[in-house]
């Protein structure tokens, strides 16, 4: 690709994002029926050019909305710098939802206000995220009615401490951490897939675990086998047996 063509495309991107946002906004404003589920997939630039407003409009105006999925489509063009996008939503914007999925975002402490009063939220899936330990802890603290939490291929933290007492299903997929500590009395289903973690770094305390599912990629030496976790997690073994 020559330089002039690349430059023209980069200049056109904001206008294209605005036009696209206007089209989607018109469709949503003209929609008269019930809207129970909504999925937004956008490029990083679009978050500053209307996606935030669209999400807030849908959540606030479509009172029957219960499921929301947001995904930032990252660019892998070698000429374009890849950046995570941090959504900056209104406080309590997710409080009316039952299910929420976020993919490809960087979260900072300011995002915690969006999760305030999320007692209705039952399912939360975070995929390809960048966030620190205290942000995960803060989100789970606000979502005190959460029953299912899925964390996939995310970075920015080296320790996880899960203490949400309403959780029934917990899934860790493709994570690399030094320590995971889970204190969830009502936990019933635990899924671990391709986890890189010292065997003694995983500690599970649950009295009602009914299902434990673990897989690993044998070609990757650092990924632990299921027996490694069971051997070093006596409480998990007892509850599972």
Strands 123-127 and 159-162: unpaired
Confidence of residue 97 (pLDDT cuts 50, 70, 90): very high
Could you give the domains of the chain?
A: 35-215 (3.80.10)
Lowest mean pLDDT, pick from 74-88, 125-139, 161-175: 74-88
pLDDT at position 41 = 86
Q: Is the pLDDT of residue 92 over 90?
A: yes
Q: How far apart are the first and last CA of the chain?
A: 60
On average, the pLDDT of the chain sits at 81
Confidence of residue 32 (pLDDT cuts 50, 70, 90): confident
Question: What is d(CA 55, CA 85) in angstroms, rounded to the nearest whole number?
Answer: 15
pLDDT at position 3 = 32
Q: Is the pLDDT of residue 50 over 80?
A: no
Q: Is the pLDDT of residue 226 over 80?
A: no
**Biggest alpha carbon–alpha carbon distance for the chain:** 65
Higher pLDDT, 241 or 69: 69
pLDDT at position 80 = 54
Question: What is d(CA 180, CA 161) in angstroms, rounded to the nearest whole number?
Answer: 6
Please name every residue paired with 101 in a beta bridge, in sequence order, or none if there are none: 69, 125
Q: Is the pLDDT of residue 11 over 90?
A: no
What's the rounded mean pLDDT across residues 80-108?
85
Question: What is d(CA 26, CA 48) in angstroms, rounded to the nearest whole number?
Answer: 18
What's the rounded mean pLDDT across residues 199-218?
81
Q: Is the pLDDT of residue 18 over 90?
A: no
């Amino acid at each position: 690709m020559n330089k002039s063509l690349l430059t023209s495309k980069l200049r056109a991107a904001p206008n294209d994002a605005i036009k696209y946002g206007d089209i989607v906004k018109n469709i949503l404003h003209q929609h008269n029926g019930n809207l129970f589920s909504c999925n937004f997939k956008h490029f990083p630039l679009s978050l500053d050019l209307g996606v935030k407003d669209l999400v807030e409009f849908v959540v606030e105006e479509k009172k029957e909305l219960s499921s929301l999925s947001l995904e930032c489509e990252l660019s892998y063009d070698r000429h374009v710098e890849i950046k995570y996008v941090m959504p900056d939503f209104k406080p309590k914007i997710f409080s009316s939802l039952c299910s929420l999925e976020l993919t490809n975002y960087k979260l900072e402490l300011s995002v915690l206000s969006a999760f305030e009063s999320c007692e209705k939220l039952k399912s939360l899936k975070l995929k390809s995220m960048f966030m620190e330990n205290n942000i995960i802890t803060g989100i789970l603290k606000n979502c005190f009615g959460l029953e299912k939490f899925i964390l996939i291929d995310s970075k920015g933290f080296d320790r996880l401490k899960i203490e949400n007492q309403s959780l029934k299903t917990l899934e860790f997929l493709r994570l690399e951490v030094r320590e995971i500590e889970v204190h969830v009395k009502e936990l019933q289903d635990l899924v671990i897939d391709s986890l890189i973690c010292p065997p003694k770094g995983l500690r599970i305390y649950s009295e009602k675990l009914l299902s434990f599912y673990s897989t690993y990629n044998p070609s990757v030496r650092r990924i632990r086998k299921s027996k490694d976790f069971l051997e070093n997690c006596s409480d998990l073994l007892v509850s599972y047996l």
